[in-house]
Amino acid sequence: MRFFRPRGGSDARRMTRTPVHQAKALYEAGRYAKAEAEARAVARSRPRDDEYAAVALNSAAIATGAQGRHAEAVATYDDALPAFSRIFGVDHWLTPKLRSDRAQQLTALGRYAECEAECAAVARAATSGTGPEMSLLAAAARNGLVFALNAQGRQPEAEALAREALAEAQGADELYRGLSEDQRHPDTGAVELAFATALFGLCRGPEARLQAAAAHNACLASIGPDHHRTVEAQTLLDRIDGA
């Protein structure tokens, strides 16, 4: 769950004093409904052009999506995006990150072509950027692209892209360890779940199960049993075992 990081000083120390710190803490504790309520309360309490109002809306969208309420999450992202573009700028990593997060909610709504187009656009923009945030953003966008391709029955494309994303993720251990917990937290298990989904679509059950189990275990350990991705991983495991 990536919150706005104030410039200067210790990010961790300064974050404890921001209006969104309580919503952040609730989310990371797996208390998604309370995190959403807190974030929406912060957003309502501040002027629309305030940067923390925008961040609070983004936080509310993330927490809403974690509960599996994808249409509401997309609507909340839509409310936050104009403010992010205006306050942070369209090229700041926070803005395409919001676009990527929004796009990946679209797959649950059956809006696969729209998700594919948006994730591809974000991945291209992130690849041309620099810094660890852009590298991780490119990986997250490609992960959403894998899901969109797989959902459209394009499993060979999805598998090829998932293998590339998995290799990049496995080769980024040093970068990953250098990130703060709130930067690492949101994408736990996502690459493995995307890869498992593509492999299952290709009728490669044993390989799919290994990746799905890895995704499920990672999600349980990091984001808890109630997060929508943990539920998706368990559902995929059940489908694989029942095939």
State residue 135's pLDDT score: 79
3 state SS of 178? coil
Q: Please give the structure tokens belonging to residue 181.
A: 């917990």
Nearest to 207 by CA among 171, 172, 163: 163
DSSP state of 136: H
Q: What's the pLDDT at 1?
A: 35
Residue 140 burial by CB count (10 A; 0-12/13-18/19+): exposed, middle or buried?
Answer: buried
Can you give the pLDDT at residue 9?
40
Average pLDDT of the residues of the chain: 83
Q: Which of 13-22, 183-192, 231-240 has the lowest mean pLDDT?
A: 183-192
Taking a C-beta distance cutoff of 8 angstroms, is the pair 99, 118 a contact?
yes
pLDDT digits (tens, 9 = 90+) for 110-164: 999 999 999 999 999 988 877 778 877 888 888 889 889 988 989 889 888 878 7
Number of other CB atoms surrounding residue 47 within 10 Å = 8
- CB crowding 173-207: b at 16 or more within 10 Å, else e: eeebeeeeebbebbbbbbbbbbbbbbbbbeeeeee
Return all residues near 162 (Cβ < 8 A) that are at least 6 apart.
146, 191, 194, 195, 198, 199
Each residue of 23-68: pLDDT tens digit?
A: 999 998 889 999 999 999 999 999 988 999 999 999 999 999 999 9
| Whole-number pLDDT of residue 231 | 86
* Residue 168: per-residue pLDDT: 63
Note the pLDDT of residue 147: 85
Q: pLDDT tens digits for 163-188? A: 877 766 555 444 444 544 444 445 67
CB atoms within 10 A of CB 54: 26
Least confident of 11-20, 21-30, 73-82, 138-147: 11-20
For 48, 152, 189, 209, 230, the CA distances from 237, given in Å and listed in that order, are 43, 20, 14, 6, 11
225 closest CA partner among 189, 199, 201, 196: 189
One-letter amino acid for residue 6 of the chain: P
CA atoms within 13 A of residue 79's CA, in its CB half-sphere: 19
